[in-house]
């Protein structure tokens, strides 16, 4: 009984930590670690001047600041353009590939560092899902 109670307490604590982490805006930084924007918990993407660049919907749709659909991310971590053409995908380890399965780079899940296929730093994204990071840095949905 004590083990069950302890496990329940640990589980509740883990959910509390996860809930707190997702309620804070998620920071985007360039290669020099300068602040370039954030992705709010509701999916809104903002630049450093707090101007809206677009948003990620919960259904995977990606839209620009004018609410025009520019792409989509599916549940298999594939990224598509507005016409449904597969642009690339992300593996669960953070590796990013183009539509022909050629490596584009990697997102380090622990540090948030984003690198291209040659290892050059593109930027940093802390606390953001790797699909959203890939859409921002590799597929230029918001630039």
pLDDT value at position 25? 57
**pTM summary value:** 0.76
Domain, as residue range, for 97: 25-137
Q: Average model confidence (pLDDT) for the chain? A: 83
User: Is 111 within the bounds of a domain?
Assistant: yes
User: Is 48 within the bounds of a domain?
Assistant: yes
pLDDT value at position 42? 87
Count of domains forming the chain: 1
User: Which of residues 83 and 143 earns the better pLDDT score?
Assistant: 83
Does the pLDDT value for residue 1 go beyond 70?
no
- Which segments within 67-137 are labelled E, that is strand? 69-73, 78-81, 86-90, 95-98, 103-107, 113-116, 121-126
Determine the average pLDDT of the residues in 117-143.
90
Does the pLDDT value for residue 21 go beyond 70?
no
Q: What CATH code is carried by the domain that includes residue 80?
A: 2.40.160.200
Does the pLDDT value for residue 38 go beyond 80?
yes
Distance in angstroms (rounded) separating the CA atoms of residues 23 and 32 = 26
The two tokens of residue 134 are: 């890939």
- Please state the separation of Cα 5 from the chain's center in Å: 35
User: Is 51 within the bounds of a domain?
Assistant: yes
Does the pLDDT value for residue 14 go beyond 90?
no
User: Is 38 within the bounds of a domain?
Assistant: yes
* Band of pLDDT at residue 107, cut at 50, 70 and 90: very high
Residues 6+ away with beta carbon under 8 Å from 71: 61, 62, 79, 80, 81, 82, 87, 135, 139, 141
């Amino acid at each position: 009984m004590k083990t069950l109670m302890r496990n329940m307490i640990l589980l509740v604590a883990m959910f509390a930590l996860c809930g707190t982490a997702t309620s804070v805006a998620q920071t985007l930084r360039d290669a020099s670690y300068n602040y370039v924007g954030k992705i709010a918990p509701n999916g809104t993407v903002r630049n450093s001047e707090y101007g809206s660049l677009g948003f990620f919907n919960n259904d995977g749709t990606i839209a620009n600041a004018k609410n025009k659909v520019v792409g989509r991310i599916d549940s298999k971590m594939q990224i598509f353009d507005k016409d449904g053409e597969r642009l690339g995908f992300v593996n669960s380890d953070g590796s990013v590939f183009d539509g022909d399965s050629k490596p584009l780079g990697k997102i380090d899940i622990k540090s948030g560092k984003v690198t291209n296929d040659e290892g050059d730093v593109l930027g940093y994204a802390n606390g953001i899902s790797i699909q959203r990071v890939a859409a921002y840095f590799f597929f230029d949905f918001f630039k």
